[in-house]
Amino acid sequence: MKITELDIRSALNALNCRTNFTIANVTEYMLPETKEAIYLHIDNKTPLLIIRPAFEVFSGELATLEGVHAQYDYHHNSQMTRFPTRQFKSLKEIHYGLGFKFDNVQAVELFIKRLIEIVKG
Protein backbone atom coordinates (compact mmCIF):
# COMPACT_ATOMS: atom_id res chain seq x y z
CA MET A 1 0.00 0.00 0.00
CA LYS A 2 1.29 3.45 -0.96
CA ILE A 3 2.05 5.94 1.83
CA THR A 4 -0.29 8.92 1.92
CA GLU A 5 -0.03 12.56 2.93
CA LEU A 6 -2.08 11.78 6.04
CA ASP A 7 0.34 8.97 6.99
CA ILE A 8 3.30 11.35 6.85
CA ARG A 9 1.45 14.12 8.71
CA SER A 10 0.51 11.64 11.46
CA ALA A 11 4.10 10.39 11.72
CA LEU A 12 5.48 13.94 11.94
CA ASN A 13 2.95 14.86 14.63
CA ALA A 14 3.78 11.70 16.59
CA LEU A 15 7.47 12.69 16.46
CA ASN A 16 6.60 16.16 17.87
CA CYS A 17 7.37 18.06 14.68
CA ARG A 18 5.39 21.28 14.76
CA THR A 19 3.57 22.89 11.87
CA ASN A 20 4.18 26.54 11.02
CA PHE A 21 2.04 27.03 7.92
CA THR A 22 0.41 25.39 4.93
CA ILE A 23 0.24 27.16 1.57
CA ALA A 24 -1.28 25.27 -1.34
CA ASN A 25 0.57 21.94 -1.48
CA VAL A 26 3.45 22.81 0.91
CA THR A 27 3.50 22.54 4.72
CA GLU A 28 6.42 23.79 6.81
CA TYR A 29 7.39 21.71 9.85
CA MET A 30 10.06 22.30 12.46
CA LEU A 31 12.01 19.39 13.88
CA PRO A 32 11.43 18.96 17.64
CA GLU A 33 13.72 20.93 19.96
CA THR A 34 15.49 22.57 16.99
CA LYS A 35 15.02 25.48 14.63
CA GLU A 36 15.45 23.23 11.58
CA ALA A 37 12.69 23.46 8.98
CA ILE A 38 11.54 20.65 6.72
CA TYR A 39 8.76 20.81 4.15
CA LEU A 40 6.04 18.35 3.23
CA HIS A 41 5.25 18.82 -0.45
CA ILE A 42 2.47 17.01 -2.28
CA ASP A 43 3.66 16.38 -5.83
CA ASN A 44 0.93 14.79 -8.00
CA LYS A 45 -0.55 13.12 -4.88
CA THR A 46 2.90 11.82 -3.91
CA PRO A 47 4.11 13.16 -0.55
CA LEU A 48 7.74 14.29 -0.39
CA LEU A 49 9.77 15.55 2.55
CA ILE A 50 12.20 18.29 1.58
CA ILE A 51 15.32 19.12 3.63
CA ARG A 52 17.91 21.90 3.27
CA PRO A 53 20.54 21.42 0.55
CA ALA A 54 23.22 21.78 3.24
CA PHE A 55 22.38 18.19 4.20
CA GLU A 56 23.43 16.92 0.78
CA VAL A 57 26.53 15.35 2.35
CA PHE A 58 24.15 13.12 4.35
CA SER A 59 21.69 12.34 1.52
CA GLY A 60 23.46 9.09 0.61
CA GLU A 61 23.27 7.91 4.21
CA LEU A 62 19.63 8.95 4.55
CA ALA A 63 18.76 7.17 1.28
CA THR A 64 20.20 3.90 2.64
CA LEU A 65 17.58 3.83 5.40
CA GLU A 66 15.03 1.12 4.65
CA GLY A 67 12.08 2.50 2.69
CA VAL A 68 13.66 5.91 2.02
CA HIS A 69 14.30 7.07 -1.57
CA ALA A 70 16.23 10.23 -2.44
CA GLN A 71 15.11 12.28 -5.43
CA TYR A 72 17.66 12.58 -8.21
CA ASP A 73 17.60 16.37 -8.56
CA TYR A 74 16.88 19.36 -6.34
CA HIS A 75 13.26 20.15 -5.53
CA HIS A 76 12.23 23.78 -6.17
CA ASN A 77 9.33 25.68 -4.63
CA SER A 78 8.84 29.35 -3.82
CA GLN A 79 7.02 28.51 -0.55
CA MET A 80 10.11 26.92 1.06
CA THR A 81 11.18 30.30 2.43
CA ARG A 82 13.67 29.06 5.04
CA PHE A 83 15.80 27.42 2.34
CA PRO A 84 18.42 29.06 0.10
CA THR A 85 17.63 30.17 -3.44
CA ARG A 86 19.20 29.54 -6.83
CA GLN A 87 18.48 30.23 -10.47
CA PHE A 88 16.27 27.54 -12.02
CA LYS A 89 14.35 27.81 -15.31
CA SER A 90 13.68 31.55 -14.94
CA LEU A 91 15.34 34.88 -14.30
CA LYS A 92 14.20 34.94 -10.68
CA GLU A 93 15.86 32.76 -8.04
CA ILE A 94 13.73 30.14 -6.27
CA HIS A 95 14.05 28.20 -3.01
CA TYR A 96 15.32 24.64 -3.29
CA GLY A 97 16.08 21.55 -1.22
CA LEU A 98 16.57 17.79 -1.28
CA GLY A 99 13.46 15.64 -1.74
CA PHE A 100 12.78 12.19 -0.30
CA LYS A 101 9.98 9.67 -0.89
CA PHE A 102 8.97 6.94 1.55
CA ASP A 103 7.56 3.43 1.32
CA ASN A 104 5.89 3.45 4.74
CA VAL A 105 5.47 5.26 8.06
CA GLN A 106 8.41 3.37 9.61
CA ALA A 107 10.69 4.82 6.91
CA VAL A 108 9.48 8.34 7.76
CA GLU A 109 10.18 7.73 11.45
CA LEU A 110 13.71 6.39 10.75
CA PHE A 111 14.41 9.34 8.46
CA ILE A 112 13.24 12.00 10.94
CA LYS A 113 15.05 10.40 13.89
CA ARG A 114 18.31 10.24 11.91
CA LEU A 115 17.86 13.81 10.67
CA ILE A 116 17.37 15.01 14.25
CA GLU A 117 20.62 13.23 15.25
CA ILE A 118 22.44 14.95 12.38
CA VAL A 119 21.05 18.40 13.25
CA LYS A 120 21.85 18.06 16.94
CA GLY A 121 25.35 16.82 16.09
DSSP string, 20-81: EEEETTEEEEE-TTS--EEEEEEETTEEEEEE-GGGHHHHHHHHTSTTEEE-SS-EE-TT-T
pLDDT averaged per 10 residues in sequence order, the chain, 121 residues: 90 96 94 95 91 95 96 92 87 93 96 96 84
For residue 36, the model assigns a pLDDT of 96
pTM of the model: 0.93
For residue 26, the model assigns a pLDDT of 95
What CATH number does the domain containing 22 carry?
A: 3.90.1150.40
Alpha-carbon span 56 to 73, nearest angstrom: 11
Indicate the number of domains in the chain.
Answer: 1
For residue 74, the model assigns a pLDDT of 93
For residue 1, the model assigns a pLDDT of 61
Contacts of 11 (CB under 8 A, 6+ apart): 105, 108, 109, 112
Full domain range(s) for residue 58: 5-120
Residue 119 phi/psi, 5° resolution? -65, -40
